Amino acid sequence: MNFVRHIPDSNENRSHKENRIAHDLPILFLPFIPLVIIVPVLPADFSSRFITVFFVTLLFITGIYSMRGDRRRFLISCILALIATETFWVSVWPAASSLFLPAEFFLLLFLIHQTRYLVEEMVWSDGTIYDLFGMVTALIITGGIMLGTSLHLAGWMSRSTEYDPLTIHSSFAQALPEGILLLIRGGESPFGVSPLASVILMVGSVCGFLLLVLSAGKAAGYYVKNREQ
């Protein structure tokens, strides 16, 4: 608890937190790369469930670590991660596989919470162009995982896609890279057609466009700043 008490509040001087996310980017990418490259190609068997949930748990740990600069944000992320992690691990057992869907919902809340932090740091950070590139990449992967998770949940809620409890972990893993591709280039959802999925795709397309505009604006700002010096 002493560690939590020493985390600064959000209204403290921003200089204590400036560029912190840029320093944490290598840690954030630890779960990102396996989740979007390795996990989706694993066979749909019982052992792959543990690997999927392990890397999702690692995502929570690294995400919490990156948000340690703000006490309120840190505590909220801990609560969301604790609920989601427990539910994910219980869902590994076939008898409780239906709990994977509520776990996805809390993962989505956690990612939304983290994305707000990433966008805030990207807008206000005065780091280098390499920091900007890293934050944009982190936002693309995080946003893609959010989009894929949302579409996977939407397919279940609208019953436009039939999920087998034995393969729900593998279908979720396949949704993550699909979400990144949809965020970048758009397209149709592979998880069924429903009004909810259409709205999610529209929001994802808008967010992807805004991220592109914001990134271009920040890159142009760096170029002008360096040219004036």
Instruction: Provide DSSP, 187-199.
Output: ---SS---HHHHH
Q: For 25, what's the count of Cα atoms within 13 Å in the CB-facing half-sphere?
A: 19
Specify the DSSP element, H or E, that contains 131.
helix 129-157
94-121 pLDDT, tens digit per residue, is: 888 888 889 999 999 999 998 888 888 7
Which of the pair, 168 or 190, is modelled with greater confidence? 168
Taking residues 70-80, report their average pLDDT. 89
The pLDDT > 90 percentage for the chain reads: 23
Helical pair 168-185 and 129-157, crossing angle rounded to 10 deg: 130
43-66 pLDDT, tens digit per residue, is: 878 888 899 999 999 999 999 988
114-152 pLDDT, tens digit per residue, is: 888 888 877 777 767 777 888 888 899 999 999 999 988
Confidence grade of residue 21 (pLDDT, cut at 50, 70, 90): low
pLDDT at 97: 83
Instruction: Provide DSSP, 25-83.
Output: HHHHHHHHHIIIIIGGGS-SSHHHHHHHHHHHHHHHHHHHHHTTTSHHHHHHHHHHHHH
CB 77 within 8 A of CB 113: yes
